[in-house]
Amino acid sequence: MMSNRRNALGRGLSAILRNPNTDITNNKDEESKLVGTINEISLDEIQVNPFQPRVKFDEDKIYELSQSIKELGIIQPITVRKLGYNRYQLISGERRFKASKTLNLRTIPAYIRIANDEQMLEMALVENIQRENLNPIEIAISFQRLIQECSLTQEECGNKLGKQRSTITNFLRLLKLPLEIQGGLKRQKISVGHARALINIKDTTKQLNIYNDIIENGFSVREVEQLVKDFAERDYNSTVRKKQDKNTETLLFSHQKMLFDLSKSLDKRVQLTKNKKGNGKIIIPFSNDEELTAIFNKINT
């Protein structure tokens, strides 16, 4: 029996679910006859899934689900694995499990399976990635865990999840971003497109400066890609002001772009402020007379 189970490892979720050797109903032990069927199980006998890739659940949606369960009952059973006598562990359906607990239900319908830790992780990941609205960082962490904890290559991970290797690679690259930017991606302050553009910048300070400007000025993905291209070899200083004057107007991207081009041409950080009436000033710093002369020469060229 154990050798057959080992052979099932790494073959993908569908192979596991279709393989009768992974269903404990084939075991002659009387206690195992429940497994492979749908049964009412006490909520107190179920442990949450330690392999659950989702780390945060929307409490409002849990409440909405609980009200639906109260009205209609649980339409789709949860899936658990049997750990021992009257002991089970969630494979999928944690939202239904949590919602049922808020209603103080005693039991919940569950489909009982047998699975080892690798299969548990794979099942949990597939369940969440394909059926839940994970944020991009949660998806990336899920891919990373599957690769590291199940000793898979990116290509093998993609095969198991029905995704291209490039998709796996692109999500994993998001984890190289500073935690502040990852947090912004989780909270939808920026899109995956913005994040992928920022990945191409090696300097963390520059990444954060552009990230702050994306949020402040609402730059599009294309605009950020252009910024990354223009400032690939140069420092980028954020234009975000900590205490913005109520009469100061946020610069349009077209003005920002002209400012960036001028800064690049003069090799100086040029500052521009403009109020809502259209008045403003351009500040070009210099350290000595030679630099000042060089600036005039470049402007007059």
Q: Write the pLDDT tens digit of every residue in 243-257.
A: 344 444 566 667 777
Catalytic residues: 94
Q: Which residues pair with 41 in a beta bridge?
A: 108
Confidence check: pLDDT of 202 > 80: yes
pLDDT interval class at 35 (50, 70, 90)? low
Q: 157 with 168: CB under 8 angstroms?
A: yes
What pLDDT score does 84 carry? 76
What pLDDT score does 104 carry? 93
For residue 108, give the nearest of 121, 123, 93, 97 by alpha carbon.
97
Strands 280-283, 271-274: pairing is antiparallel
Domain definitions of the chain by residue range: 2-117, 194-300
Strands 46-47, 87-92: pairing is parallel
Q: How far apart are CA 104 and CA 100, in angstroms?
A: 6
What pLDDT score does 21 carry? 44
Confidence check: pLDDT of 7 > 50: no
- List the Cα angle 113/119/125 in 5-degree steps: 105
Highest mean pLDDT: which of 121-130, 145-154, 170-179? 170-179
Residue with the larger pLDDT of the pair 265 and 73:
73
Instruction: Just give the CATH number of 2-117.
Output: 3.90.1530.10
- Please give the single-letter amino acid code of residue 110: A
pLDDT, averaged across the chain: 77
Distances in Å between the Cα of 217 and the Cα atoms of 156, 234, 242, 266, 283 are 41, 21, 14, 24, 20
Global pTM? 0.54
Q: Which two tokens stand for residue 3?
A: 């050798």
Sign for the CA dihedral angle at 126, 130, 134, 136 comes to: positive
